[in-house]
Amino acid sequence: MPLEIKELQIHVTVNDQQAKAVANAAPGGQIAKDAQKAMLQQIIDDVMDILNSQKER
């Protein structure tokens, strides 16, 4: 019998040291922009994976 998950809760703990390093990076610096682009790309990929898995049902 298949099991369908209706709701999924995810809790995330952010490493304080890493968060401070990102926050202290120059706001207009290339490192900050690259980090933002990488994070955005990861989020887009995750959302697309979720949408594709829902479409397969």
The pLDDT value recorded for residue 5 is 78
From the number of C-beta atoms within 10 Å of its C-beta (0-12, 13-18, 19+), residue 32 rates as middle
Domain boundaries, the chain: 27-56
From the number of C-beta atoms within 10 Å of its C-beta (0-12, 13-18, 19+), residue 50 rates as exposed
The pLDDT value recorded for residue 41 is 92
Confidence of residue 47 (pLDDT cuts 50, 70, 90): very high
pLDDT tens per residue across span 5-43:
788 888 877 677 766 676 666 556 666 778 888 899 999
Which residue has better confidence, 50 or 55?
Answer: 50
The pLDDT value recorded for residue 43 is 92
